[in-house]
């Protein structure tokens, strides 16, 4: 099972249990609750197997509690920070596109993904964006606009072109060459526009 191997590799490399959990929780926003929950179940199995072998994994720090009364504003500000925009001034609600068409999805996106998840401090914004880019690549075709957007957000977090190319190499090795090549194409098109 690829996930068991990846979790063991991550733990061996020094990831904490809470970092692994946080990655799997973050992923539900992109690949759904069923896969995220199965990922957490796999992590529990891996931890039990490692404990039986006498391996003591570091639990790591817990996320700081997020006590937010205005999640939409927090999510809007987190998204603005990710995109390198000012957080001063009035909160802007979408006037076109999917957010205007479905204000509900815009609210869920801001309040839950960018407030509830991105405000948790076990992972940095850069780490969350690398995770997001990786899962979007693995999802394959149909999410190219989101992939391009998140590649841009990843670079705004200080991740270099070479580091992104390393992500493509890892995906090529562990997922598929076709998915990695498709991501390279999206990245090249995005880079040529900027």
Question: What ranges do the domains of the chain cover?
Answer: 1-64, 71-117, 124-194
Residue 147: pLDDT band with limits 50, 70, 90 = very high
64-88 pLDDT, tens digit per residue, is: 988 878 999 999 999 999 999 999 8
Distance separating alpha carbons of residues 94 and 108, to the nearest angstrom: 13
What percentage of the chain exceeds 90 in pLDDT? Answer: 91
User: Over the stretch 126-146, which tens digit does the pLDDT of each residue have?
Assistant: 999 999 999 999 999 999 999
Q: Is the Cβ–Cβ distance between 179 and 171 less than 8 Å?
A: yes
- pLDDT at 33 > cutoff 80: yes
Q: What is the pLDDT of residue 82?
A: 94
The model carries a pTM of 0.92
Q: How high is the mean pLDDT of the chain?
A: 95
Give pLDDT tens digits for 82-111. Answer: 999 999 888 989 999 999 999 999 999 999
Residue 65 has a pLDDT of 87
Is residue 117 predicted with pLDDT exceeding 90?
yes
């Amino acid at each position: 099972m690829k996930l068991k191997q990846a979790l063991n590799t991550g733990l061996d490399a020094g990831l904490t249990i809470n970092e692994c959990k946080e990655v799997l929780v973050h992923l539900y926003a992109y690949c759904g609750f069923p896969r995220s929950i199965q990922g957490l179940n796999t992590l529990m199995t891996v931890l039990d197997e490692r404990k039986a072998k006498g391996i003591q994994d570091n639990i790591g720090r817990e996320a700081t509690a997020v006590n937010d009364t205005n999640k939409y504003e927090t999510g809007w500000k987190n998204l603005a920070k990710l995109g390198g925009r000012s957080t001063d001034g009035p909160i802007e609600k979408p006037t076109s596109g999917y957010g205007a068409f479905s204000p509900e999805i815009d609210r869920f996106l801001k309040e839950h993904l960018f407030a509830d998840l991105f405000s948790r401090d076990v992972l940095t914004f850069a780490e969350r964006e690398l995770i997001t880019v990786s899962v979007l690549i693995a999802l394959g075709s149909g999410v190219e606009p989101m992939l391009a957007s998140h590649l841009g957000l990843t670079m705004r977090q200080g991740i270099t072109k070479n580091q992104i190319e390393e992500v493509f190499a890892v995906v090529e090795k562990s997922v598929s060459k076709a998915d990695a090549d498709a991501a390279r194409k999206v990245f090249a098109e995005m880079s040529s526009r900027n």
